[in-house]
Amino acid sequence: DAGITQSPRHKVTETGTPVTLRCHQTENHRYMYWYRQDPGHGLRLIHYSYGVKDTDKGEVSDGYSVSRSKTEDFLLTLESATSSQTSVYFCAISVSQGGAEAFFGQGTRLTVV
Amino acid sequence: KQEVTQIPAALSVPEGENLVLNCSFTDSAIYNLQWFRQDPGKGLTSLLLIQSSQREQTSGRLNASLDKSSGRSTLYIAASQPGDSATYLCAVSSDNAGNMLTFGGGTRLMVKP
C-alpha cells in the first residue's frame, strides 16, 4: 500500500459546523489531491497541491478550502458543512504531474446531518 | 471538457470466463490512462497505468490496451475468479486539464463460483 493515511475515517457532523479532513503521506510525493465520490457522479477533483503552500482548484471546489504547510500533510476544510457535502472523500498522491501514477488513500466517509 | 464512459455498468459472469471491460474518452489529448479496482467501502487500488505513447500493459491475468486516436481502452481479465469481484474504474489524465484525473462511472463486476 502507498503510504497514505486519511483521518478521520468516518465522521458525522451537523450542518453549519466546520470540518477538517487530513491526508498524511510518507512517500514525499510532490502532488496531492482531494477527490469526492458520489453515486451518479463518480470521482471528482476538489483541490490539488503541487508543493508546500501551492494549491489550485479542481472541478468542484466551492465550499472547500485546502492548506499544505508541510510536504507530507494536505488538509481539506469545509468551512460550514452542508448536506450536499455528505460524501466519501479520497486523498491521492503522485510523484509528478501528467503521466505519473496516482495512488489513493482509504477514504473518509463524511455525513452532514 | 474530457468525458469518460465505461460500459457495461455492471457485469456478472461465471468463474473461469475471460472478460473485457471497456472505457472510452472524448478527448484524445491525454498523458495517460489508469485502471483502478475498488472494493466496497475501500479505497482505489491502482492496477495498470498506460502512458499515451504505449499500446498496452500487462500485470498477471490483467491486460490493458489503449487506442488513443479512437479514445478507447479495454481491460482484459483472463480466467476470472470470485476474488476479482469489485468495481473497476478507468481514469485519464489530460494535458488540457492540468493534473486532474477524469474518472468513468465504473463497471461493477461479480464473478460467481
Whether residue A104 and residue B36 make contact (CB cut-off 8 A), yes or no, is: yes
What the block records as the C-alpha cell of A41 is: 457522479
Of B43, B13, B11, which Cα lies nearest the Cα of B108?
B11
Of A93, A110, A95, which Cα lies nearest the Cα of A36?
A110
Of B33, B51, B100, B96, which Cα lies nearest the Cα of A49?
B100
Interface of B with A (CB under 8 A): 31-32, 34, 36, 42-46, 49, 51-52, 89, 91, 93, 95, 98-101, 103-106
How near does any CA of chain A get to the CA of B88, in Å? 12
Backbone angles phi, psi at A35, to 5 degrees: -120, 155
* Chain B touched by A54 (CB under 8 Å): no
Q: Using CA atoms, how far apart are residues A11 and B14, in angstroms rounded to an integer?
A: 38
In three-state secondary structure terms, A9 is coil
Handedness of CA A37, B43, A22, A83 (dihedral sign): positive
Q: Using CA atoms, how far apart are residues B62 and B96, in angstroms rounded to an integer?
A: 29
Q: How many inter-chain contacts (A to B, CB under 8 Å) are there?
A: 60
Give per-residue pLDDT as tens, B42-64: 999 999 999 999 999 999 999 99
Which pLDDT does position A18 carry in this prediction?
A: 96
Give per-residue pLDDT as tens, A33-84: 999 999 888 899 999 998 999 999 998 999 999 999 999 999 999 999 999 9
Q: Using CA atoms, how far apart are residues A37 and A24, in angstroms rounded to an integer?
A: 19
Whether residue A48 and residue B43 make contact (CB cut-off 8 A), yes or no, is: no
Give per-residue pLDDT as tens, B66-98: 999 999 999 999 999 999 999 999 999 986 555
* Chain B touched by A95 (CB under 8 Å): no
Average pLDDT, chain A: 94
